[in-house]
Amino acid sequence: MRIRLVEKTFEPLGRRRKWLLATLAAGSVLVLQACSTAPARRGKGARAPALPADVPDDADAGSAAGPGSEIVMQALANVGKPYRWGGAHPSEGFDCSGLVAHVFEDALGVKLPRTSLKMSARGTRVERARLSAGDLVFFNTSRYAYSHVGIYIGRGRFVHAPSSGSLVRVEQMSSPYWSNRFDGARRLVAVD
């Protein structure tokens, strides 16, 4: 199996690194679950609520395969890191494009442009209903297109570095704030 980037081709990561990333992602997911509130109890025979219509029925880190899972695991490993304007490393913190660039370089060895606007010109356009784990999602948060970027992780969620004074976190794309500001999505990797 070869992973194809829009501009270049590269070999998948070694087994040891994949195992390490999978272990790190599993730990991150457990930490995230421990911090969430308990769901409301349902009576006998009650069914779980359906996902909203705009949430694709796709995988996240637990079941995604290929480069998408590498990207998701690396993104989740950075949840909780502080926001820092211009930041591009876990030790100093991240801004939105710094987080995305760091994740892609660490997970796949791919160097991306430093701004969300320049990132929006890479890869291929993806419809919102066809998002896959590892796709980039763009938003208009500063009165200009593609002013914010995050990494889609599946089930209608994305990881991003939101703003000054906050932490890298997971958000729902269906929330009114993000849904109203969605600018589009790009896929940077494909599996042959």
pLDDT in tens, the chain (192 residues): 455 565 444 444 454 455 444 544 444 433 333 322 222 333 333 333 333 333 334 444 444 556 789 999 999 999 999 999 999 999 999 999 999 999 999 999 999 999 999 999 999 999 999 999 999 999 999 999 999 999 999 999 999 999 999 999 999 999 999 999 999 999 998 755
Contact 65, 154 (CB under 8 A): no
pLDDT at position 49: 34
- Active site (annotated) includes residue 160: yes
- Active site (annotated) includes residue 35: no
CATH code: domain 3-32+55-191 is 3.90.1720.10
pLDDT at position 189: 87
- Active site (annotated) includes residue 102: no
Residue 125 phi/psi, 5-degree rounding, is -65, 140
Residue 77: in which H helix or E strand, if any? helix 67-77
Q: Distance between CA atoms of 185 and 152, rounded to whole angstroms?
A: 9
Catalytic residue among 35, 89, 102, 148: 148
Cβ atoms within 10 A of the Cβ of 90, count? 16
pLDDT at position 57: 40
pLDDT at position 9: 40
- Map out the domains of the chain as residue ranges: 3-32+55-191
Catalytic residue among 35, 89, 102, 160: 160
Compute CA distances 140 → 5, 109, 116, 182, whole Å. 26, 28, 10, 7
Cβ atoms within 10 A of the Cβ of 81, count? 20
pTM of the predicted structure, to 2 decimals: 0.69
